[in-house]
Amino acid sequence: MSSVPSPIRIARAERSRAAVLAEKALEALIRLSGVSAILFVAAIFFFVLKEAAPVLFSEGFSLGQFLFSTEWYPTSANNVRYGTFALTVGTLSVTALAMLIAVPFGLGAAIYLSEFCKPRLRETLKVVIELLSAIPSVVWGFVGLTVMSKLIVNATGAPVGVNVLNGGIILALMSVPVIVSIGEDALKAVPDSFREAGVALGATRWQLVYRVLLPAARNGLLAAVLLGVGRAVGETMAVLMATGHAVHIPGSLLDSVRTLTANIAAELGEAPSGSDHYRVLFLTGTLLFLITLVVNLTADFVVRGIRRK
Amino acid sequence: MARLRSRAQLRMSALFLAATLAVPACGGGGSKEAKDAKPSNTVLQNKGSDTMVNVAQVWAEEYRKVAPNVEVEVSGGGSGVGIAALLKGAVDLANASRDIKPSEAEQASKNTGKSPVGFNVGADALAVYVHKDNPMSEITLVQLTDLYAEGGKVTRWSELGITIPGVKDDTIVRVSRQSSSGTYEFFREHALGNRDFRLGSRDLNGSKEVVELVGTTPTAIGYSGMGYATADVKMLKVAPKAGAPAVAPTIAAVHDKSYPLARSLHVYTLGQPEGAVKAYIDWILSPAGQKVVEDAGYVPVAAAGNATGALATEAPAPGAPPAPAAPQPKP
């Protein structure tokens, strides 16, 4: 900016220098908030990795063992082993079961709310569903530990009610509200002209949903499912209480497991900061971060693939 | 539709806003009153062993009656969590149901320049619990190792010669503790001879949770402090090896050291305690504090010599001679 503003510009803008500066500052601020999301993600990843990095080069630690061994003995007196494979499998199995339950229910509810429901009922349902997502996860944990575990023992005859099935159902209940809210918004975002064109061509309501709305809202619906997956993978307290916390590759739905998140929550408090155990827990955090990154990227590629067709 | 929805949301958020504003307003008013009433309030932070958390809470409540201006805030998490917090200087007192490790003491002097000082405040027998319908009445340490330790082969009750009535699948449900627990480390050291636990046990986050799960599961076995027994569980007698006499976890058996899984309970401070912390520990070791220990189902310490010293590596029995540098509590 030149120090002597040209008279023409002043005449056109008719604003004081302060106002111009304020606008510039505001613009910069808005741009900063836009970029800040990237900054935060990068910073979080950097600091988590920074805490974890020294252990990668320490003696007695092998990345292969960390990723593919099922032996998790962080505090052993004579043979310390850091294998997280059983924990990864625990996380994946509980999440997969939760999605198997939550996706049909969540998308079904979203379609019903957006296309078939009467307006007054819709408002009531939406408020209730939003309330459902406001229930704290530790309360879900209580439900899993007390109510659900008794139901599972009675229904299946399993010796212990805290297991993959319990955790999966609890996580499904927690992800459904997310999937419904975002999914409904995605369906609502499809322009009404699409619906009108469909009806004009003589499509039934079901054909309209199946042939027109679902393909048109595909990206939004996928985002809804992904947010549900994210909630399920990252959930800690509820799975800590509902899955039984046993380091074990599950052979059936009724086996107890431990997840990556629950393991970090249970052990980070005791690990002296700077110790190998502490650093391995941060490395587990990095692993979780990478798992969600891979899920998101895969979904992104899938969406682009569909779009190109 | 969009407008309708946002109006509903607005209503909801207004409601939440009102609620969140109302709550701190009440809380703030209450604490202000309390502050006005007692101007010189001392707050002590006390964290650690889940085994001792019940006792520590009663200590805090009872001590409030003796010294109304001292407030002790108690939380659990495990002996390891309490000691880790002490090493950072985050708490004044750490409860531990195991001895502090040399590595931890070293860390403390590196962090703060002070070494931890331990006080023996009671004793506990680590009981082995089974469901009340389980016909088993005693177990040997060898059997416990076969059951719990890495490489152990026992997975079914029938392998121990036990038939549990009304149960088809007699796979043993092993209940254990999270690795920050002092109970976990004590059991590993004294029942398993420092061998690692076999993976696949249900690792619960509290002494009470272990007993609760065993009480609702006929095929379960678990270990926890003897103060946590309920009507749904049975404490097994424990024998050091097959053929040796099995001993029930009782106060007398802890005192004469005949029960194999007896341990001392400690309170650790950073450096020699002073002022309010010292007064509190002295009170814990007084007859009033020791009565709390007894009422909670644990074993009070013998009258003399309560300090266990900063670097004690073996669990001293109640009444062990004090370490040279440790303070003598006032009677």
Is the predicted pLDDT of residue B138 greater than 70, yes or no?
Answer: yes
Mean pLDDT of all residues in B195-216 = 90
Domain boundaries in chain A? 1-57, 81-308
Q: Which of B5, B131, B219 to mutate to test the interface with A (most CBs of A within 10 A)?
A: B5
Rounded to whole angstroms, how far apart are CA atoms A38 and A46?
12
- Residue linked to tokens 């949770």: B209
Collect all residues of chain B within an 8 Å Cβ-Cβ radius of residue A110.
none
pLDDT at A14: 67
pLDDT at A302: 78
Closest chain A residue to the Cα of B203, Cα to Cα = A245
Rounded to whole angstroms, how far apart are CA atoms A68 and A112?
43
Q: Which of B179, B209, B212 to mutate to test the interface with A (most CBs of A within 10 A)?
A: B179
Q: Sorting pLDDT into bands at 50, 70 and 90, what band is B121?
A: very high
Give me chain B's average pLDDT, please: 80
| Helix (H) or strand (E) run with residue B236 in it | none
Rounded to whole angstroms, how far apart are CA atoms B314 and A135?
47
B197 φ/ψ angles, rounded to the nearest 5 degrees: -70, 145
Same domain, B175 and B202: yes
Mean pLDDT of all residues in B200-212 = 88
CATH of the domain at B181: 3.40.190.10
Per-residue pLDDT reduced to its tens digit, A35-67: 999 999 999 999 999 999 999 988 778 899 999
Collect all residues of chain B within an 8 Å Cβ-Cβ radius of residue A256.
202
pLDDT at A287: 93
Per-residue pLDDT reduced to its tens digit, B50-66: 888 889 999 999 999 99
The whole-angstrom distance between A18's CA and the closest CA on chain B is 36
Rounded to whole angstroms, how far apart are CA atoms B264 and B123?
4
Q: Please give the structure tokens belonging to residue A201.
A: 């061509």
Percent of chain A residues topping a pLDDT of 70: 94
Same domain, B144 and B190: yes
CB contact under 8 A, B202 and A267: no
Same domain, B247 and B144: yes
pLDDT at A22: 93
Per-residue pLDDT reduced to its tens digit, A297-308: 888 887 777 666
Nearest-by-Cβ selection for A245 from B80, B189, B204: B204
Q: Is residue B329 part of a domain?
A: no
CB contact under 8 A, B81 and A245: no
Closest chain B residue to the Cα of A255, Cα to Cα = B200
Same domain, B130 and B68: no
Beta bridge partners, A244, equal A257
- Residue linked to tokens 């814990």: B284
Which region, left, alpha or beta, applies to residue A258 given φ > 0 means left and ψ of -120 to 50 means alpha? beta
Mean pLDDT of all residues in B17-37 = 42
Q: Please give the structure tokens belonging to residue A54.
A: 């020294």
Q: Is residue B65 part of a domain?
A: yes
pLDDT at A309: 58
Collect all residues of chain A within an 8 Å Cβ-Cβ radius of residue B215.
none
Beta bridge partners, B43, equal B71
**Cα angle value A174/A178/A182 (rounded, 5°):** 170
Per-residue pLDDT reduced to its tens digit, B75-92: 988 888 899 899 888 899
CB atoms within 10 A of CB A239: 36
User: Quick one: which of A102, A95, A101, A100 has its CA closest to A224?
Assistant: A102
| Helix (H) or strand (E) run with residue A213 in it | none
Collect all residues of chain A within an 8 Å Cβ-Cβ radius of residue B90.
none
b (16+ CB within 10 A) / e for B275-314: ebbebbbbbbbeeebbebbeebbbbbbeeebbbbbbbbee
Collect all residues of chain A within an 8 Å Cβ-Cβ radius of residue B81.
269-270
Q: Sorting pLDDT into bands at 50, 70 and 90, what band is A79?
A: confident
Mean pLDDT of all residues in B198-221 = 90
Per-residue pLDDT reduced to its tens digit, A279-295: 999 999 999 999 988 88
pLDDT at B301: 85
Q: Which domain, by its residues, includes B130?
A: 125-255
Nearest-by-Cβ selection for A246 from B77, B202, B205: B202
Collect all residues of chain A within an 8 Å Cβ-Cβ radius of residue B208.
none
Identify whether the C-beta of residue A245 lies closer than 8 Å to the C-beta of residue A91: no
Q: Is A49 helix (H, G, I), strand (E, B) or coil?
A: helix
Q: Is residue B19 part of a domain?
A: no
ipTM of the complex: 0.73
Mean pLDDT of all residues in A140-153 = 91
Identify whether the C-beta of residue A187 lies closer than 8 Å to the C-beta of residue A180: no
Identify whether the C-beta of residue B262 lies closer than 8 Å to the C-beta of residue B238: no
Question: Between residues B309 and B293, which one has the greater pLDDT?
Answer: B293
- A271 in contact with B, Cβ within 8 Å: yes
Residues 6+ apart with CB under 8 A from A43: none
Residues 6+ apart with CB under 8 A from B86: B47, B48, B93, B94, B108, B116, B268, B269, B270
Q: Is residue B289 part of a domain?
A: yes
Rounded to whole angstroms, how far apart are CA atoms A106 and A184?
9
- CATH code 1.10.3720.10 for A81-308: yes
Nearest-by-Cβ selection for B84 from A78, A240, A270: A270
Percent of chain B residues topping a pLDDT of 90: 38
CB contact under 8 A, B8 and A126: yes
Q: Which of A87, A117, A190, A270 to mutate to test the interface with B (most CBs of B within 10 A)?
A: A270
CB contact under 8 A, A267 and B180: yes
Question: Between residues B328 and B191, which one has the greater pLDDT?
Answer: B191
The helices-and-strands tally (H runs, E runs) of chain B is 10, 11
- A195 in contact with B, Cβ within 8 Å: no
Rounded to whole angstroms, how far apart are CA atoms B147 and B126?
17
- Residue linked to tokens 């008794």: A150
Number of independent structural domains in chain B:
2
The DSSP result for B149-200, as a single string, is: BTT----BGGGGT---TT-S--B-EEEEE-TT-HHHHHHHHHTSTTPPBPTT
pLDDT at B54: 86
Nearest-by-Cβ selection for A159 from B8, B169, B194: B169
pLDDT at A6: 55
**Cα angle value A158/A246/B171 (rounded, 5°):** 40
- A138 in contact with B, Cβ within 8 Å: no
The whole-angstrom distance between B8's CA and the closest CA on chain A is 7
Rounded to whole angstroms, how far apart are CA atoms B96 and A139?
29
